[in-house]
Amino acid sequence: MLVLDQRSAQRIVDRTMPAIGHSVNVMSPDGLIIASGDPHRVGSLHEAARLVAEGGEPLIIGEQDCDDYPGARPGVNLPVRVEGRLAAVVGISGPPEEVSRYADLVRITAELMLEQVALLEAGQHRRRHIEETLLAACSGKPVPAVWFEQQGLRADSLRVGVIVEARGERAVDEVLTPLVSFLERKGRPVLAVRQSTSRLLVFLEVESDRADAERIRRLLNLTTRDDVALAVGQKFTTDFELGYQSVQATREVGLRKAPQALDLCYPDLRMAALWHSLSPGWQQQDLQTLIAAVRDERQGEGYLKTLSRFIECNGEVQRCADRLHIHPNTVRYRLRKIHSLTGLSPFSLPDLLLLHLALETHPTGIVENDKKHR
């Protein structure tokens, strides 16, 4: 049920008075004047409005009738209904024979404006309900199939979690604030949770092979924005906890590797994202001891950068050398140096896996990633 507020009531007054040239009052069903062309009347009781609310019929008050209706002045008072229910009473002050011709105009205007308020409130209520459900789901609470039906969604649809992050106040105003409304105009419920003033978590329905950052940007109308970053998580159906945790991990490890990156996708960061939960446990500490001796070396960061590129190049020395613009023998020397310092050989698959995990789970990142990012 619509609860009339002072702001909405005053908008009705401000919209109608210039058109008719008479003072307009908006009253609650219990007769309290909420807004008026005469500010001194706001907050006072209007007995005629209460009677109109009770009877549901217009009431005309002449000069001679004012004493019978405390707080009233000559004019006409009419019920305002929204979805068949009484929402307010609107009054026009002035000689009844003059203001009566404006009665329907003012009433219809008030009803249209309050219907718009009711729609906005219903939309806000639905958004809050969706947010509450999603917050619980992200914490592991199952979402019943009936909830999807109530929202007009299919439970078995493929989804992906996307964190949209505005970098700068302009991006917040131009993108983040209107983004939910933009998606709602497509006629589908929007599964979104505001994480902060600059960050929005959205769960989008996707096709199996269409969840890359470029397609997500097109879907969100963000292809031309270089001040909005995206993190795209693992695809899922009803396990929102998986979707939430994967996109959170993707964003955190991605920004650790490339703080200025605009597009971070789970498939590109799968290894680091999967092991993200090790931080800052004993497993991570153990992994870091494996490369501690390398980091202590004067050229340690260079060795680790070579190791990272060697892994990216699938263990191909020549490709790694080309990427780093060095001789292949230099690559081999650095990898042998890592072997001597750690006891783990980059040319042994089990050892290389441990070294890779140590690189991926370091709390502040080991090296910059020279893959291209948007």
DSSP 56-94: -S-EEE-GGGGGGSTT--SEEEEEEEETTEEEEEEEEES
Are the C-beta atoms of residues 300 and 358 closer than 8 Å to each other?
A: no
In terms of DSSP bridges, do strands 263-265 and 228-236 run parallel, antiparallel, or are they unpaired? parallel
* 227-252 average pLDDT score: 93
Residue 68, pLDDT above cutoff 70 = yes
Q: Answer for the pair 241, 137: CB distance below 8 angstroms, yes or no.
A: yes
Residue 247, pLDDT > 90, answer yes
How many angstroms separate the CA atoms of 214 and 177, rounded? 21
Which position has the higher pLDDT, 123 or 65?
65
Contact 170, 227 (CB under 8 A): yes
pLDDT (tens digit, 9 = 90+) per residue, 157-194?
A: 999 999 999 998 888 888 887 888 888 887 778 899 98
CATH class of the domain at 6-120:
alpha beta
pLDDT the model gives residue 101: 93
Structure tokens at 104: 């329907």
| Residue 31, Cβ density class (10 Å: 0-12 exposed, 13-18 middle, ≥19 buried) | buried
Report pLDDT for 119. 83
Residue 360: closest CA among 212, 240, 254: 254
What order of strands is seen across the sheet that includes strand 199-205?
191-196, 199-205, 159-166, 228-236, 263-265
Using CB atoms within 10 Å of the CB of residue 3, give its burial: 0 to 12 exposed, 13 to 18 middle, 19+ buried.
exposed
- Report the percentage of the chain scoring pLDDT > 70: 94
Give the C-alpha separation, 33 to 42, whole Å: 5
Residue with tokens 């131009």: 174
The least confident of 38-42, 81-85, 187-191 is 187-191
Task: Supply φ then ψ for residue 248, to 5 degrees.
Answer: -65, -45
CATH of 278-360, one of 3.30.230.80, 1.10.10.2840, 3.40.50.2300, 1.10.1040.10: 1.10.10.2840
Q: Does domain 149-274 have CATH number 3.30.70?
A: yes
Do the beta carbons of residue 115 and residue 82 sit within 8 Å?
Answer: yes
Q: Read off the pLDDT band of 369 (50, 70, 90).
A: very low
Q: Say if CB 311 and CB 324 are below 8 A apart.
A: no
Radius of gyration of the chain (CA): 32
Q: Is the pLDDT of residue 325 over 50?
A: yes
Specify the DSSP element, H or E, that contains 284. Answer: helix 282-296
Structure-token pair, residue 157: 């649809």
Domain residue limits, the chain: 6-120, 149-274, 278-360
Cβ atoms of residues 352 and 346 within 8 Å: yes
Q: Are 37 and 9 in contact (CB under 8 A)?
A: no
Integer Cα distance of 182 and 216 in angstroms:
14
Q: Which two three-digit tokens encode residue 201?
A: 């978590």
Model-level pTM? 0.65
Band of residue 210 on the pLDDT scale cut at 50, 70, 90: low
